[in-house]
Structure 1
Amino acid sequence: MDAFDNNNSIFICGKFQCCGTKGRQFGVYFAGMLFALGWWMFVDGLSFSSILPDRKAYAGFEDWAPGIVTTLGMFIVSLIDKEALRGSTFDEGIPWRARLFLFMGFAMMAGGFAGSVSVLVVKYIMHDLEPIDSYVGICAVVQCGLIMLSTAVLWISQDVNENQLGI
């Protein structure tokens, strides 16, 4: 019996079957859109803060680092082979290494998000800046959240068995 059989699913719309052959493709495009929107928000925050006439905080590397770390975590998570996690390979060490890298990727994403929140609090909120001056920090938190959401959507849409959808 196949592991992706309809009878084994507890969900009505298990594995995007009700979406037809376009379910996986839509998920990948939607994840890309969320990723691009996250980086666009951050660049928007940087460009907006640069035109403020009397800005009180300047964007530095500490504003860029959480987004970079979250993006690297997304790359690591997206590169993990799902079959290696299941342990269907001949080498016994492969599932262990795949799970370790998966943990490292999720830890990098969580660390990037936590870093963006801490930069927002320490650099912008604790100095009692106006919301317009702390827009870069808000955009960095939104950026990391969108990248994490993009990773979740991509992980779910890539988990679909291609033979099941007829691709």
Structure 2
Amino acid sequence: MGQERLFRFPVFKLPTSQALKSVAIYLAGALYSLGFWSMIDAAIYSKTVNASIVHVTFVDWIPFVCSTMGMIIVNSIDKSQLIQSDGGFSGMGGGMMWQARIVLFVGFSLLAIGISGAFLVLILKFLIKGFNEMPTLGMGLENVGANLSVMFSCIVLWVVQNMEDDYNYSLAL
């Protein structure tokens, strides 16, 4: 095996048509907007229709904010910065590759904090305190669904942004 690669066997290659990329980007946006609307719906239901004593507060929004920040960070990283070889850890600040990897790790950590925080709010706020009836429990489930939707949106956008074009032209002289 003459090439340097991460896996022993080549991983499947996704088709790279421009129309597929556009559809996937719109899908990522739709998934994010579905998650955001789910959180808004839970907050509106909590303040207007909900007859129980449990309401959506700022604590319920913290996981969604963490997931959103993680999504922004993960999709802001340029893949070429992750795979370049800059001679290892050079100097006090480190190489650009290591900086990009650390920032990417922080982004994925924020996504994980958002998902786990949503499940934690569901368990601690709704299930343990005995609010197992569906209209009230639905607010906690919408929180979990919103964070999962943001995570899937991030995954779709990351894959689409980092698909290699077959027809890349270098205009550098």
Conserved 8 A contact 1:120-1:138: yes
* Identical pairs, percent: 30
Q: Which structure has greater helix proportion?
A: 1
Specify the code of the residue in structure 2 equivalent to 1:146.
Answer: S
CA distance in structure 1 between the partners assigned to 2:134 and 2:50 by the alignment: 15
CA distance in structure 1 between the partners assigned to 2:23 and 2:75 by the alignment: 16
Q: 2:58 aligns with which of 55, 58, 61?
A: 61
Q: 1:25 aligns with which of 17, 22, 26?
A: 22
Residue 27 of structure 1 and its aligned partner are, at CA, apart by: 1.3
Give the match's secondary structure for 1:49. helix
Give the match's secondary structure for 2:135. coil
**When the two structures are superposed, what TM-score results if normalisation uses the length of structure 1?**
0.85
Residue 134 of structure 1 and its aligned partner are, at CA, apart by: 2.2
Unaligned runs of 5+ in 1: none
Pair 1:71-2:71 in alignment:
no
1:5-154 mapped onto 2 (5 Å cutoff): 10-11=11-12, 14-17=13-16, 20-52=17-49, 54-87=51-84, 93-129=95-131, 130-154=133-157
Residues 25-52 of structure 1, C-alpha deviations (whole Å, 9 max, x = no match): 1111111110011111111111122222
Unaligned runs of 5+ in 2: none
CA distance in structure 1 between the partners assigned to 2:156 and 2:50 by the alignment: 39
Residue 67 of structure 1 and its aligned partner are, at CA, apart by: 0.1
Conserved 8 A contact 2:42-2:56: no
CA distance in structure 1 between the partners assigned to 2:11 and 2:128 by the alignment: 48
CA RMSD after TM alignment: 2.4
**When the two structures are superposed, what TM-score results if normalisation uses the length of structure 2?**
0.82
CA distance in structure 2 between the partners assigned to 1:53 and 1:125 by the alignment: 17
